[in-house]
Each structure stands twice: as C-alpha cells, then as structure tokens.
Amino acid sequence: MYLCVPAESKSINETTKDQPPPVISSTTTSIAESNSSTSKLEDELKVSSRLLKFAFNDLKTATRNFRPESLLGEGGFGCVFKGWIEENGTAPVKPGTGLTVAVKTLNHDGLQGHKEWVAEVNFLGDLIHPNLVKLIGYCIEDDQRLLVYEFMPRGSLENHLFRRALPLPWSIRMKIALGAAKGLAFLHEEAAKTVIYRDFKTSNILLDAEYNAKLSDFGLAKDGPEGDKTHVSTRVMGTYGYAAPEYVMTGHLTSRSDVYSFGVVLLEILTGRRSMDKNRPNGEHNLVEWARPHLGERRRFYKLIDPRLEGHFSIKGAQKAAHLAARCLSRDPKVRPLMSEVVEIMKPLPNLKDMASSSYYFQTVQADRTGSSPNTRNGSNGVRTPAGSFSRNGQQHPRSLSIPNGSHASPYHHQFPSPKPQGKP
C-alpha cells in the first residue's frame, strides 16, 4: 500500500509568534483563473517540442483509474499516482510493463495554482540535465491539468533521512549531496538562461534506483536577473528553515539564495536533523542556529554528525563538508561560493575511506559525548542508542513561507527497500 502524506506545513497567516517574521503571502488562484479554457492555457505554455501531450482518459487508465493502490503521495499541488505508459508514446499499458511514470494531478481546491503549474511545464520542458527530474508530458482537458514525470523508485531524500529506521550510509549521503549540487550548478551557470530554483529542500530531491539525486518541482523557480541587475525582486516564497535570511527580509532573490538553501540541506544530510524541529530541546529547534558554533571549530564539528552512523563516516570528508556548509550559510551572500565551486569540493567526498569508527579519534569523540572513558560506547543518557532508532526524533514538517508546500513536490512517499547500512545498495 502506498503512503499518502498530506502537506503538513502551514500558511504564513497561521504561524505563531515564535516563528520568523511575517512575509507577503500568496493568494490562491481564483476559480475563474483555474477554469480557464484549454486554448487559453495552451497559449500560456511555452511547450517544448519534446513534451508529449496526453489524453486524460489515457492517464486515467495508466494509473488504474487513479485508484488508492496507485497513490504515491499528496501535497499542496495535488495527488501523485504511479502509472504505466508505452515506451515511446502516450498510450496506457498493463501495470509492470512499458515505462513507469509518476502522474501529478492539479487539485483545484489545493494550495498551489495555475501559475505554478505553468512554471513547472515551462521550466522542465526546456531544462534537460541528469540531475533534474524529467518531465515527460502534460495533459490539459477542460479544467483537468496533469503532469507526467519519470518515476523515481527510491522516493525523496526527506524520506530516507527522517522516515526510515536504517540510516543512509555516509557514501550515499555524499553522493546525493554532490548530485543535488550539480543540479543547482546547471541551473545557475550552465543553462541558457540563469534559473533560481527557490525551493531547494530534502523533499524536492528525488532519488533513482542508484541513489542519483534529481531536483523536482519547479513551480517556484524564477529566471535570474538580466543585464546589470543584481537580483530579482519577488514575493517571499519557499519554506521556513531553508530560505536565505536576506531574501526573507528584502524579497531580493539571487542564485546565492539557493546556495544558502544547499547549505541547510547539507547540514540535514550531515546531522540527520530537520531544518526546523520543535520537538527538540530549546536552542535546537533551528538547525542552522544550533549548528553554527560547531561548524567553524575543527575539534567540534563531530558534534554535528548523525550519531546513527555510529562512526561510519569519513573524518576528512565530514570536516570538508562541515566547512563547506559554513561557507554556504554565510550571512553575507557575497561570501557564499558558486555552486560550481561546491561541486568541485564535493566530488572526492563520496569515495573517502578514512572511517572514524576505525580510529582512536572516534573513541575520543564518543568519550567526549558521554563524559566517560574513550572505551565507553554508551549514549548521552548512559544507554546506547541502537543504530536503527531515533533519539528525540521529531516528524514535524518545515513551515512554508508562502505556499504550504512542505512535501508537495516530491510526494513519492512510497515504501521502498531501505539501503544497506554500509556500502552501495
């Protein structure tokens, strides 16, 4: 049975006084706009010639009538269903044959609307890269709007970091971070026109069978500044905990805003903690603020590493990743690195073999954590924490800045086999 995980994030209007300062909220697309004629909708689309146009009835058949057993997940946009189509066409085929796809439907009563749907088609219709999810085609019939993507069998990074008993192995974490960085670098520096992603987070990073990362959901993406302009002025939209502080304060959007978001995700990968988690003790709700004191200290960075890894991480790799995260999270956007530089720094990290658990270093770390001798392997409360359990685990979703899209764009919350604790899957 597939899991349907509803979006749990709240609109800025529902936030409380202990959350970030208010920003301009978006309005739901009007009913009249949602019900625009098919011809008017198609006029707004800059449809790439490579995209296929699907008939609604074909997608209905491909997903077995959108039955619950085909449901992969749900978010602000609508529901996503697993389906099967012919390899080089649009006709539905028998489940388990042909090409497996993910079909995303637009919920007209949902939290996202027409503009985001059009942006998704226009951006992913033009952008082709190994680290971007492939949009196969779309469907417009009357008020029906659907998108057809390649199916990502291992779901989202969010699922693997925060919803599974077995932790992702270190090398896989670094591989995913590198792939996601390549996707952003392409958008910023290699695409014909600079694209600012604006919604980089773990739920929007999807994984194929080999744990290759692909960015999904371009509903909030924006074209970068042109000419001598230094930024794009826009309403503040995205997700709390990931958005760059200068963007939240001013509405000035640049590619360095994405770099900040990458730094947050890199921290989540290193720590196994969510960017915002109210279930943790006071002072640890905001991941970035909790981590800052440890990022710049060579002897303290190990406090950041996910304890569920039990020392199965590269010492040198963790140091480099922590230092890189600190640079990406600089309060001064001009100091943050370009994503191409991030990619170069990340390239060797998945293959480093200096595991902490095989050195006296790890024993020292454990002793420092527990306040006991280096030979002690107990947890901070005197009881060892099993590798497959969560300590003070919180399942709270980050809160959205404008569109409540906590898990809307990578709703492939499908029960996949967990990776092996060590090595490649």
Taking only the tens place, the pLDDT of each residue in 224-262 is 887 667 777 787 887 889 999 999 999 999 999 999 999
Q: Are residues 176 and 98 in the same domain?
A: no
Q: What is the pLDDT of residue 38?
A: 54
Q: What is the pLDDT of residue 231?
A: 78
Q: Are residues 133 and 185 in the same domain?
A: no
Q: Are residues 130 and 173 in the same domain?
A: no
Which residues form the catalytic set?
199
Q: Are residues 258 and 301 in the same domain?
A: yes
Amino acid at 296: G
Which of residues 100, 116, 150 is at a domain's end? 150
CA angle 177, 178, 180 (to 5 degrees): 65
CB atoms within 10 A of CB 234: 15
Q: What is the pLDDT of residue 47?
A: 65
In a domain, 160, yes or no: no
pLDDT at 17 > cutoff 70: no
pLDDT at 402 > cutoff 50: no
pLDDT at 398 > cutoff 70: no
Which of residues 117, 150, 183 is at a domain's end? 150
Number of domains forming the structure of the chain: 2
In a domain, 348, yes or no: yes
Which of residues 102, 125, 150 is at a domain's end? 150
Q: Are residues 281 and 344 in the same domain?
A: yes
User: Out of 84-93, 303-312, 339-348, 391-400, which region has the weakest mean confidence (pLDDT)?
Assistant: 391-400
Q: What is the pLDDT of residue 45?
A: 64
The mean pLDDT of the chain is: 78
For residue 164, report the phi and psi dihedrals to the nearest 5 degrees: -110, 150
Cα dist. 333→22, 244, 246, 259, 264 in Å? 21, 9, 8, 9, 14
In a domain, 400, yes or no: no
Q: Are residues 325 and 352 in the same domain?
A: yes
Q: Are residues 222 and 319 in the same domain?
A: yes
Which position has the higher pLDDT, 8 or 326?
A: 326
Q: What is the pLDDT of residue 317?
A: 95
Q: What is the pLDDT of residue 234?
A: 80
Q: How confident is the model at residue 364 (pLDDT cuts 50, 70, 90)?
A: low
- Write the pLDDT tens digit of every residue in 191-227: 999 999 999 999 999 999 999 999 998 988 888 887 6
In a domain, 410, yes or no: no
Give the residue numbers spanning the domain of 34: 12-150
Distance CA 2, CA 70 (A): 7
Amino acid at 300: R
In a domain, 383, yes or no: no
In a domain, 146, yes or no: yes
The CATH number linked to 257 is: 1.10.510.10
104 is in an annotated binding site: yes
Q: Are residues 356 and 262 in the same domain?
A: yes
The CATH number linked to 136 is: 3.30.200.20
Q: Are residues 169 and 129 in the same domain?
A: no
In this structure, are residues 411 and 2 in contact, taking their beta carbons and an 8 Å threshold?
Answer: no
Cα dist. 125→135, 275, 409 in Å? 7, 31, 16
In a domain, 33, yes or no: yes
Mean pLDDT of 57-64: 96
Q: Are residues 69 and 190 in the same domain?
A: no
pLDDT at 328 > cutoff 90: yes
Which position has the higher pLDDT, 263 or 48?
A: 263
User: Out of 82-86, 114-118, 372-376, which region has the weakest mean confidence (pLDDT)?
Assistant: 372-376
Q: Are residues 307 and 354 in the same domain?
A: yes
Query: Pick from 77, 54, 79: which is nearest to 137 by CA?
Result: 54
Q: How confident is the model at residue 144 (pLDDT cuts 50, 70, 90)?
A: confident
Q: What is the pLDDT of residue 94?
A: 94
In a domain, 402, yes or no: no
Q: Are residues 198 and 347 in the same domain?
A: yes
- Write the pLDDT tens digit of every residue in 303-324: 899 999 999 999 999 999 999 9
